[in-house]
Amino acid sequence: MRKLLSNCAILASGDEGFEFIEKGFLGIDGDTIDYIGGEKPIGYGEERDMSGAMLIPGLVNAHTHTPMTLLRGVGSGLPLQSWLFDTVFPIEDRLTPALIRAGSELAILEMLSTGTTSFTDMYMEPGETAEAVLASGIKANICRPVQCFDPSEPVEENFRVRESLALYDKYHNAGNGRLKVDFCVHAEYTCTAPVVKYYAALVRERGGNLHIHMSETKKEHGECMEKYGVTPAGWFAGLGAFDSRAFAAHCVWVTEEDMEIMKKYGVSAVHCPSSNMKLGSGFAPVRRMLDAGLNVALGTDGAASNNNLNMLEELHLASLIHCGYTGDPTTLKPAEALKMATVNGARLQGRGDTGQLRVGKRADIAAVSLTAPHMRPNLDPLSLLTCSAQGSDVVMTMVDGRVLYDHGKFPTLDAERIYRDVDTAVGALYK
């Protein structure tokens, strides 16, 4: 079935960067883009008028913890230790698989309604998230994070490792590859060397990605130096964690040498601007990471430390904050920020077939309305998207050519049922 999106602005990807088409047409054959241009093509059975909208590549949220929508905003304004130990952890202890399912489903509603077509998740009970992903039509890379608090425990006996392997066997490449399973070492400060070595071997053997938190806080980075005499990046590299595909969330405190290590091994970084500011972690050296040749993607982190999963907001923050803290308004160009939010994230996920509006790529698309007062006039489509657009300006989100969000409606999901489940979850967690 071929269908055509008509009469809309298109932010296409050309060989030299983004190419803006003011009034164009985008053709889709099944799950793949087969035409982009200013002339109306023939041969499409279904046509949809998209006047007043701009098509952009679907956004990729490269680091989140979806079930934490159930903790949205809790403990705001508390110091980090009190936020984590007195607020977040006790609530997480009360989470059940059913509640995790509700939280992931709410997250998927939020992401689809704000233009995200693929996300990378890290949380407990990821089988629940997997089922939510498969039912919704969105794409995701999920993982079961491993932590190890008893260094004498054989790695194979850590229940998290067993869950991680079972998850991979059951769900990797499910839904025609929409769902991928990554492996995950939570962080240097929550793991031991034997676990990292075990996972490094696992990824070398099975493929996939290794997902880690790295150098998020000054404390974490400094304590690793004290304990091991190397930075977290040096520690992971020394244990073979970077011998296969790997990516590191946050990277706020990475050094020039860390960047060299990441470049050498092809380790991607995920920048999480909201979370890093909200938790007082600092400003990741995004300009320097890009200059070092690293693949830098963008993520929301979980809703407890954000407080939402709105990639247009992260795009906006990434565009602004680095100019603010360097004192140089040219620090990050809108096109660079948009690539971080789209194609760089897709690359990190191992999805080379998406992240760009380009013939031959998957039809993973968000349509952003240009009709609200704050979207007028459209003098510079890229800066309009990075600095003016709100998540709510997204009017349609499509994954593999299938419409998953359409002007407030979710064709594949029962939003009202999910909202009821969220209310039930809140009752169970907080009352």
What's at 4, amino acid-wise? L
Instruction: Please report, as residue ranges, which positions from 114 to 173 form the binding site for its own copies (by CB under 8 A).
Output: 114
Contact with its own copies (CB under 8 A) among 149, 360, 373, 431: 373
Tell me which residue of 87, 164, 102 sits closest to 132, measured CA to CA.
102
Min dist CB 410 to its own copies, Å, is 9
Interface with its own copies, residue 76, by CB under 8 A = yes
Separation of CA 221 from chain center: 23
The residue count for binding its own copies (CB under 8 A) is: 72
Q: Rounded to the nearest whole angstrom, what is the least distance from the CB of residue 247 to its own copies in the complex?
A: 22
Write the burial class of residue 89 (CB in 10 Å: 0-12 exposed, 13-18 middle, 19+ buried).
Answer: exposed
C-beta of 90: minimal distance to its own copies in Å?
14
Q: By CB under 8 A, what part of segment 95-114 binds its own copies?
A: 106, 109-110, 113-114
Smallest gap, in angstroms, from Cβ of residue 392 to its own copies?
3
- Greatest CA separation for the chain: 67
Contacting its own copies (CB under 8 A), which of 104, 129, 274, 344?
Answer: 274
Q: Identify residues 325-344 at the interface with its own copies (CB under 8 A).
A: 325-331, 333-334
> 3-class SS at 351?
coil
- Dig out the tokens for 310 from the structure: 């709105």
Q: Is 360 in the site for its own copies (CB under 8 A)?
A: no
DSSP state string for 84-140: IIIIIHHHHTT--HHHHHHHHHHHHHHHHHTTEEEEEE--SSHHHHHHHHHHH--EE
Closest CA to 364 of 44, 116, 109: 116
Collapse the DSSP code of 390 into the 3-class scheme (helix H, G, I; strand E, B; otherwise coil) and give the result: coil
Q: Considering only residues 290, 321, 341, 367, which one is a binding residue for its own copies as defined by CB under 8 A? A: 321
The only residue of 55, 146, 251, 309 in contact with its own copies, by rule CB under 8 A = 309
Stretch (H or E) spanning 366: strand 365-369
Closer to its own copies by CB, 310 or 349: give it: 310
Nearer residue to its own copies within complex by CB, 229 or 427:
427
Q: Does 83 bind its own copies (CB under 8 A)?
A: yes
Stretch in the footprint of its own copies (CB under 8 A) among 126-134, 196-204, 347-355, 417-425: 417-425
Instruction: Give dist(CA 42, CA 375) in Å, integer.
Output: 31
Q: Which is nearer to its own copies, 81 or 152 (CB)?
A: 81
Among 323, 353, 402, 406, binds its own copies (CB under 8 A): 323
Contacts of 379 (CB under 8 A, 6+ apart): none
Taking residues 189 to 218 in sequence order and writing x for each that binds its own copies by CB under 8 A, - otherwise, the string is: -----------------------------x
**86 interacts with its own copies by CB under 8 A:** no
Give the Cα separation of 167 and 413 in Å (integer): 23
Stretch that binds its own copies, among 55-63, 116-124, 128-136, 275-283 (CB under 8 A): 275-283
Q: Tell me how far, at minimum, the Cβ of 304 lies from its own copies, in Å.
A: 10
CB of 303 to its own copies, least distance (A): 8
Collapsing DSSP to helix, strand or coil, 150 comes out as coil
Q: Which of 324, 407, 409, 411 binds its own copies (CB under 8 A)?
A: 324
Instruction: Provide the token pair at 248.
Output: 């590191």
Nearer to its own copies (CB atom), residue 138 or residue 196: 138
Is residue 71 part of the contact set for its own copies (CB under 8 A)?
A: yes
Token readout for 98 is 């059913």
With binding defined as CB under 8 A, does residue 414 bind its own copies? no
Which of 104, 281, 342, 344 forms a contact with its own copies (CB under 8 A)? 281
Give the angle 54-65-366 at the CA atoms, nearest 5°. 10
Residue 61 makes contact with its own copies by CB under 8 A: no
Site for its own copies contains 56 (CB under 8 A): no
- DSSP string of 5-63, one letter each residue: EEEEEEEEEETTEEEEEEEEEEEEETTEEEEEESSPPS--SEEEE-TTEEEEEPEEEEE
